[in-house]
Amino acid sequence: MYPFSYVAVGDEQTAIAAAAAGGRFVAGGTTLIDLMREEVERPAHLVDINALPLRTVRLDDDALVIGALARMADVAEHPAIRRSQPLIAEALIEGASPQIRNMASIGGNLLQRVRCPYFRTLDAPCNKRAPGSGCSAIEGANAGHALFGTSAHCVATHPSDLAVALVALDASVTLRGPSASRRVAVEDLYRLPGDTPHLEHTLERGELIVDVRVPHGPYARSARYLKVRDRASYEFAVVSVAAALDITDGVIRAARLAAGGVGTRPWRFRASENALAGQRPGRGAWEAAARLAIDGAQPLSGNHFKVELLRRAIVRTLEMIAAGDGAGS
């Protein structure tokens, strides 16, 4: 193991200053410590932020607010979340084993690194791990890789299930940095790879995720998260779908639709949402939305199957919601 320093901090200002000086935040450590053991990540300074008072979950008038250090398990089981935003609870339960949910923080989940096997193989070229070295997945084993948002430098999918649900629900994160605070949509927290795939998010140096804000919406309780994976036990998504519908008087008033396992960041389908609005629920509406979603997909040599799998998963998720099989039912 290479040498590194460690400091535990008790207030935000000290934590932010330490990160601005080159430290890396660590909370649950379920991703970072694992990558350090494999020597994929080699931070020189770790800043333990577990003592910061950022674990509160509350319902404001306009939003659900989740502290960034709240553990996945606590959030998934929280009565207010199961009642007001059940899609979040479902995505968290699908997103990790019980052991990991007990350790992992909400903020850390949003910033976990990609699961591309080449990223974790030190002797394989990977532009995320070693910028400019190349992308082994483009011509290699790429069945699990992305259909949307790819570039000639990276085709890895974003791994977070929670982020998919939050993008569908128009959630935002509050960021606090050395000089100011700001709020950013979860969707805008992530960069497309372009020619700099090692830059995965839009956080500035020293910035700390303080909380996640999820606006209340008429679609929130009629929502589902469907995850297709290679095995029934804990595994990352081959394809996942987060969907929510506001159906009033037999008409879809609003729709939210996003997917995981198919994009280099959580992928939202606004054209499909717009097409669903004003329609009557039914197979025809679901199929039309799914066809719009797969438009523009760019499959690789090994993942053509994901196009049809995504289409079917969208239809199935919308069917479950319309049948009253919502996560909040």
pLDDT at residue 117 is higher than 90: yes
Bridge partner list, 259: 241, 267
CATH architecture of 5-48: 2-Layer Sandwich (3.30)
223-322 and 5-48 share a CATH fold: no
CA distance 25 to 267: 26
Where residue 12 falls among pLDDT bands split at 50, 70, 90?
Answer: very high
Check whether domain 223-322 has CATH 3.30.390.50, yes or no = yes
Give the type of residue at 175.
Answer: L
For 317, residues 6+ apart whose C-beta sits below 8 A from its C-beta are 224, 225, 226, 241, 242, 243
Helix axis angle, 283-294 to 305-322, nearest 10° = 150
Tell me the CA distances in angstroms from 11 to 16, 50, 106, 225, 251, one per residue in order: 9, 10, 18, 36, 49
For the chain, the domains span 5-48, 223-322
The residue-averaged pLDDT of 170-174 equals 98
Task: Please give the structure tokens belonging to residue 169.
Answer: 């629900």
For 145, residues 6+ apart whose C-beta sits below 8 A from its C-beta are 116, 137, 155, 156, 157, 300, 302, 303
pLDDT at residue 327 is higher than 90: no
pLDDT computed for residue 235 by the predictor: 84
CA distance 186 to 229: 24
Rounded to two decimals, what is the model's pTM? Answer: 0.96
Q: How far is CA 266 from the centre of its chain?
A: 6
Residue pair 16/176 in contact (Cβ under 8 Å)? The answer is yes
Where residue 87 falls among pLDDT bands split at 50, 70, 90?
Answer: very high
**Cα dihedral sign, 114-115-118-120:** positive
Average pLDDT, the chain: 95
Burial code of 205-216, b = ≥16 C-beta within 10 A, e = fewer?
A: ebbbbbbbbbee
Bridge partner list, 252: 247
CA distance 267 to 138: 20
pLDDT 10s digits, 25-84: 999 999 999 999 999 999 999 999 999 999 999 999 999 999 999 999 999 999 999 999
pLDDT 10s digits, 198-242: 999 999 999 999 999 999 989 988 999 999 999 877 789 999 999
DSSP letters of 17-68? Answer: HHHHTT-EEESS-TTHHHHHHTTS---SEEEE-TTSS---EEE-SSEEEEET
Q: Which residue has the tokens 């040498």?
A: 3
pLDDT computed for residue 233 by the predictor: 73
